[in-house]
Structure 1
Amino acid sequence: MSTLEIKNLHVSVETEDGAKEILRGVDLTIKSGEVHAIMGPNGSGKSTLAYSIAGHPKYTVTDGEVLLDGENILELTVDERARAGLFLAMQYPVEVPGVSVANFLRTAKTAIDGEAPKLRTWVKDVNAALERVTLDPTFAQRSVNEGFSGGEKKRHEIAQLELLNPKFAVLDETDSGLDIDALRVVSEGVNRYTSQGDRGVLLITHYTRILQYIQPDYVHVFVAGKLAESGGRELAEQLESEGYDKYVKAAAAL
């Protein structure tokens, strides 16, 4: 059993007008086997939360802790956080020209495990992972994300998730830009990952569409840099019908 604890997390980002606080005291605990969905309007800080957990240098943590099994990962470098068991699927995966998917995946696996996977077995594992997300084996020879469609980028990230098999996955709008077929493939990959029973997911999304395929244990409303309300699946259904308006107005009144 592993635990990812976010405690009183405050995060700022530099702007032309100086430092601007984005996260204003986030508290959240995710345990192995749990899926937590975070929903909220644009600009509420959801992606900032994801990138701050992963260690993006753009964001400055001004207060709070992020504990993975009791260790404050904010004191770790990005690669050390990955080796500790964190994974981030980005909303906008970046292109890496000249680096093949095959080399990227093997290098990442070697860095996390501390030793290179056996080549013969690894090739089979990669091909199987690509097949599960409906990508052709020749996909492994393409440069990472270069010329990929939106669906290919997101399916590639799910293949990474399955091959690297972290303790906790932070999925930042993994459903963004997907058609219904790609959404189903991506969701099935997340469900395979969580079916192990000892893996946790923080799923950031705008819409309930993906929650038709991935059943969350908890749903959280994120507004103005903090959690405004938490509940079960029924909260997502409420948001679908009512929107975020009442939460935005309540945050503005503070």
Structure 2
Amino acid sequence: MTNTVLEIEDLKAQVEGKEILKGINLTIKSGEIHALMGPNGAGKSTLGEVLIGHPNYEVTGGKILINGKDITYAAPEDRAKAGLFLAFQNPITVSGVKISTFLRMAYNNLYPEPKMPLKDFFNMVKTVMKDVDMDESFISRSINDGFSGGERKRFEVLQMIILKPKIVILDEIDSGLDVDALKLVSAEIKKMYSENVGFLIITHYQRILKDIIPEFVHVLKDGKIVMNGNSEISAKIEDEGYDWIKE
């Protein structure tokens, strides 16, 4: 896999006229694990949504670049083709759209040539479902319809593995997971990391960071990154909270 660089330059964004991101600067490369931490309301999830191109958020300044190409105002599908993937904090239900149909369409959109035979594709999906502890019966169900919180998060990880992104943004992926499921998700993240995928793990707590040690830790407060460091920061946050971090 070729190296990929995501550059976020002085990124500013608002929603419904309220400024949330106030100048974010961050660079994430293939084979790096970054953690973005911060108190509730700091703008962590907003950053993930803006990076993937959620239409509810308006970029008011700055740039988002992948390998030097400006994708600040690109459509979400073009960002996906460039290698970006976001696992949502609260994945929505899409009634009437089967997981099998959705995955096949998404995969073919990203990798149109050579087209994988249908049988081979679904054999791959079933193998990954086993890896993430999802029953094969889910393949014929509508997206997240009647899923528990943990099942929704497993499906996000399933998509991540199937679609083979180059830079992965995980928004509170550990919420809603029990201890066993968290270990399983961590193992899949490590597997992709070993294949030179870059990660931005957005989290409020250090729970997932105990198993996946980030090389870089960034602290977001009031729409700005106010501290950069390593895993020592996340350990101190677990012990002391965020009050000691000054803007």
In the superposition, the TM-score normalised over structure 1's length comes to 0.94
Structure 2 residue aligned with 1:179: 178
Residue 226 in structure 1 maps to residue 228 in structure 2: no
Tell me the distance in 2 between the aligned counterparts of 1:181 and 1:12.
37
User: Which letter maps to 1:4?
Assistant: L
> 2:236 aligns to what SS in structure 1?
helix
Tell me the distance in 1 between the aligned counterparts of 2:41 and 2:86.
19
Structure 2 residue aligned with 1:36: 34
Identify which range, 46-55 or 95-104, moves more after superposition: 95-104
Q: Is the Cα contact below 8 Å between 2:83 and 2:166 reproduced in 1?
A: yes
Residues 40-189 of structure 1: pairs in structure 2 closer than 5 A: 40-115=38-113, 116-189=115-188
Residue 239 in structure 1 maps to residue 241 in structure 2: no
Tell me the distance in 2 between the aligned counterparts of 1:35 and 1:91.
18
Tell me the distance in 2 between the aligned counterparts of 1:75 and 1:23.
16
Q: Deviations over 1:77-135 (max 9, x none)?
A: 11111111110100000101111111111111011112543111101100011000011
Q: Is the Cα contact below 8 Å between 1:109 and 1:117 reproduced in 2?
A: no
Report the identity percentage. 48
Structure 1 residue aligned with 2:4: 2
User: Which letter maps to 2:11?
Assistant: L
Tell me the distance in 2 between the aligned counterparts of 1:146 and 1:207.
28
User: Which letter maps to 2:48?
Assistant: A
Tell me the distance in 2 between the aligned counterparts of 1:2 and 1:54.
16
RMSD of aligned C-alpha atoms? 1.0
Query: 2:198 is matched with which residue: 183, 197, 200?
Result: 200
Tell me the distance in 1 between the aligned counterparts of 2:60 and 2:212.
33
Identify which range, 178-187 or 124-133, moves more after superposition: 178-187
TM-superposed CA distance for 1:20, in Å, is: 1.1
In the superposition, the TM-score normalised over structure 2's length comes to 0.96
Tell me the distance in 2 between the aligned counterparts of 1:117 and 1:176.
34
Tell me the distance in 2 between the aligned counterparts of 1:151 and 1:193.
20
> 5+ unaligned residues in a row in structure 2: which ranges?
none
> 1:214 aligns to what SS in structure 2?
coil
> 2:6 aligns to what SS in structure 1?
strand
> 5+ unaligned residues in a row in structure 1: which ranges?
none
Tell me the distance in 2 between the aligned counterparts of 1:135 and 1:59.
33
Tell me the distance in 1 between the aligned counterparts of 2:12 and 2:32.
24
TM-superposed CA distance for 1:232, in Å, is: 0.8
Residues 6-17 of structure 1: pairs in structure 2 closer than 5 A: 6-14=8-16
Q: Is the Cα contact below 8 Å between 1:100 and 1:144 reproduced in 2?
A: yes
Q: Is the Cα contact below 8 Å between 1:155 and 1:185 reproduced in 2?
A: no
Q: Is the Cα contact below 8 Å between 2:6 and 2:64 reproduced in 1?
A: yes
Structure 1 residue aligned with 2:209: 211
> 1:61 aligns to what SS in structure 2?
strand
User: Which letter maps to 2:10?
Assistant: N
